[in-house]
Chain A
């Protein structure tokens, strides 16, 4: 079995030397970047190991991160899977080209007054500075907002400065911004 990390342009830059076992499986203008099958266990360390591979790849290329845990029988199946949706995947890659993803979570102390309007304004303000944005499921957490913003690679600092401004203007809320991430939340083809 083969694990698939990402879809990228083909041909592309050389694979990062510090990651063992990676290989490129071309399919027309795209390539699947694959590796050995990971452990089935879902532990924080396993997730971070996967993430480190994708981030190493992303240092040198634009890519569509593939859903964690995707595995195929052999290279022929990888080629078929990519070829089957080649044009949709290429269009999705074009949408994230030159960009990274920033994450924002907004929380408030339980005793805080209702802050839905403020949260919505924060999201709209940040979304206006991003190429694209999307709301994520809060999974029954107490978070008032989980969102992802697609930001040009060069625009990360300006975006986090905008988050800091929003934090200053909304001291009753807790804004937590992480990234840059590969564009997981914008990779749907």
Chain B
């Protein structure tokens, strides 16, 4: 979807929201338990903070996508 590393870091939040929170659920095992998903968000927090810092410094485009 995106091309640069900076854009990917910005879009990673959106990716996690979609892959771990969206998508149709069918029968079978989902390897990630809900508790695991929460851990993923916690793990992302440091990255989210660094991205927010980058945004404040205007290092990233406001519309950070390949649209």
Are B27 and A175 in contact, with the CB atoms below 8 A?
A: no
Residues of the B chain whose Cβ atoms lie less than 8 Å from the Cβ of A139: 17, 41
Q: Smallest CB-CB separation from A38: which chain B residue?
A: B31
Q: Smallest CB-CB separation from B29: which chain A residue?
A: A71
Near A by CB (< 8 A), chain B positions 30-60 give: 30-32, 36, 40-41, 48, 52, 55-56
Residues of the A chain whose Cβ atoms lie less than 8 Å from the Cβ of B65: 160, 177-179
Are B19 and A184 in contact, with the CB atoms below 8 A?
A: yes
Are B48 and A141 in contact, with the CB atoms below 8 A?
A: yes
A48–chain B nearest beta-carbon distance, Å: 7
Of the candidates B1, B15, B30, B40, which one forms a contact with A67 in the assembled complex, judged by CB atoms under 8 Å apart? B30
Our count of residue pairs bridging A and B at CB distance below 8 angstroms stands at: 153
Asked if A24 CB lies within 8 Å of chain B CBs, one says no
Q: Size class of A's contact patch? A: 35 or more
CA A17 to CA B16, docked complex, whole Å = 26
Are B29 and A137 in contact, with the CB atoms below 8 A?
A: no
Q: Smallest CB-CB separation from B7: which chain A residue?
A: A178
B61–chain A nearest beta-carbon distance, Å: 9
Q: Mark A18-53, 1 if CB is under 8 A from B, else 0.
A: 000000000000001000000010101001101100
Are B24 and A67 in contact, with the CB atoms below 8 A?
A: yes
Are A47 and B29 in contact, with the CB atoms below 8 A?
A: no
**Inter-chain pairs besides A48-B8, A70-B26, A81-B27, 7 sampled, C-beta below 8 Å:** A66-B26, A68-B19, A70-B29, A80-B27, A160-B67, A188-B24, A188-B25
